[in-house]
A and B are shown apart, each in its own frame.
Chain A
């Protein structure tokens, strides 16, 4: 693989990573802010699932 195509492949790789990063953050957004999908601890016991 020559230098130019290697650079292009690397750019594509980083583009894919960036898209997945945005998807991952969006998934967190839905998980926490829309579905409130997380556990709440109150001392040792688990109080509730919101």
Chain B
């Protein structure tokens, strides 16, 4: 069979090579096959990848529908180039005018749905449907295609006013889509999604532009260039798989799709293979140059795309894993925090109030408010009072720890004379020391003002706590409190030294930790909570000071040293 046997003359005398397998005619420019079959194959592959994805979002379904519509459109378009029968051309040409606006509808739907993270409203859906009604009604009439143009054997359908309506509708949809996406962009607070809205909108507009370029160019230049105008217009289709790939990449990157790396890799590989194969089958130089250039672009784009997606997926999975763990830990912490708050509430209201009553009544009984009581009973009541006092102190310690850890401890800072405060406390506590057979001494050696800037209440609490500790752990001997300053270094010190049981150097570093007590502490005082020094340290640090402890070892006494920044000035009365 010679090539000439395919060529026939149609009814109007134009010679035409009969297409083989519907599509392949020697009359058709190679570029037409290249610009149609390549995007069709690439997009069919994309559809396959999307169809096999385990989870299908709304955007994904819309992308599949868009792709299928595009494939139908492109195949009919190739058919239009290859066939020569005017009736067939008129029919298939009219069909493309039904498909084209549908592609705009689905892309519009996809962008709005992605941008607003929800389905479009029923009103918009009805509007889109109503806008399509004229196309359905006037599709088979002369308003769509007025006739068949056979000038110079060009084989073109002459388009009527309905096509103009379709173009206006498409432009309006693009503008509407752009404005709506920009509103979503401005409303969006998440920078990641903000960026994705912008990129997806740009990608979609480029996709639609690439898709319509052939029609726009063909319609605009048909009168000047004839059939050539439509051939040049076909170059726009080259952009289709690239932009569609771009849209897919955007959606994959921003988690709307769960399509994994393998899909993107396979897609890019098939694109490269397809374009490369064209280099071998191309018959004209121009096609080879276009194919070579596209291969270069697709390879570069493919490598960066695969790398980017791979990195994104790995990072995303890692972040997801961490976020899940964090979320679980957060829930647990919230639960613990709630329980802690509940406990604090119980401690403060349910424990403290009865303790105050116990202490009050014990004190009243001892003082004889309810009549004289026997000496033995008085001793027991004393013990009850003492235990209640200890319990109240413990509760207070727990409450302080709770306040410190939740950041609710309030400090009312003011300037005051530390020497005066310390001396008063020593005077107040001296009777207790004497009762225990201890000597309590106070000395001061201030060159400066002895003034510090701290919370006076909390400072009193700290000093009383340390003095109380010293008395507890000093069975006999003396306790010396010394207030002195260092004007040169602007420091104010208060040291509390005792001749008590001392501290083992092994535990001295951990002494200010929660629930830590020296090993020999229980020998002398069994009632400590191990929270007192922790609270002291936290409080003094919060006020800008520090506390340190010195002991030469067990049985050699202990010294606690408080350090505060000295407020400049002269000591009153000096």
Contacts and interface: CB of A to CB of B under 8 A. Distances in A.
Given A21-B136, A24-B137, A24-B139, A32 B122 contact: no
Contacts of A25: 94-95, 98, 139-140
Given A13-B126, A32-B91, A27 B140 contact: yes
B199 interface: no
B158 interface: yes
Contacts of B86: 38, 40, 50
Contacts of B126: 10, 13
B149 interface: yes
Given A25-B98, A32-B94, A17 B133 contact: yes
A31 B90 CA distance: 9
Contacts of A6: 122
Nearest to B156: A41
Contacts of B125: 10, 14
Nearest to A28: B140
B148 A41 contact: yes
A32 to B, nearest CB: 4
Interface in A1-50: 6-7, 10, 13-14, 17, 20-21, 24-25, 27-29, 31-33, 36, 38-43, 46-47, 50
B132 interface: yes
Nearest to B137: A24
The residue among A29, A40, A50 with the most chain B CB atoms within 10 A of its own CB is: A40
A20 to B, nearest CB: 5
A21 B241 CA distance: 28
Contacts, number: 77
Interface of A: 6-7, 10, 13-14, 17, 20-21, 24-25, 27-29, 31-33, 36, 38-43, 46-47, 50
B139 to A, nearest CB: 4
Given A10-B125, A24-B140, A27-B140, A40 B95 contact: no
Contact of B91 (A24, A28, A46): A28
Nearest to A7: B122
Contacts of A39: 146-148
Interface residues of B, number: 29
Nearest to B125: A10
A25 B137 CA distance: 10
A10 B140 contact: no
B133 A38 contact: no
Nearest to B139: A24
A41 B87 contact: no
Interface of B: 11-12, 86-88, 90-91, 94-95, 98, 122, 125-126, 129, 132-133, 136-137, 139-140, 142, 145-151, 158
B378 to A, nearest CB: 80
Contact of A38 (B90, B129, B132, B137): B90
A31 B140 contact: yes
Contact of A43 (B98, B136, B151): B151
Contact of B147 (A28, A31, A38): A38
A38 B129 CA distance: 28
B120 to A, nearest CB: 11
20 contacts: A6-B122, A7-B122, A13-B129, A21-B98, A24-B98, A25-B95, A25-B140, A28-B94, A29-B91, A31-B91, A31-B140, A32-B87, A38-B148, A40-B86, A41-B148, A43-B151, A47-B150, A50-B11, A50-B86, A50-B87
Contacts of B148: 38-41
In order of increasing CB-CB distance, the 5 nearest A-B pairs are: A39-B147, A27-B140, A28-B140, A32-B91, A32-B90
Contacts of B122: 6-7, 10
A6 B142 CA distance: 36
B136 A24 contact: yes
A41 B94 contact: no
Contact of B139 (A28, A41, A43): A28
Nearest to A22: B136
Contacts of A46: 147
Contact of B158 (A7, A14, A41, A43): A41
A40 B139 CA distance: 18
Contacts of A38: 86-87, 90, 142, 145, 147-148
Nearest to A34: B87
Contacts of A21: 98, 136
Contacts of B94: 25, 28, 32
The residue among B133, B140, B145, B148 with the most chain A CB atoms within 10 A of its own CB is: B140
A37 B521 CA distance: 111
A47 B98 CA distance: 28
Contacts of A24: 98, 136-137, 139-140
The residue among B11, B87, B145 with the most chain A CB atoms within 10 A of its own CB is: B87
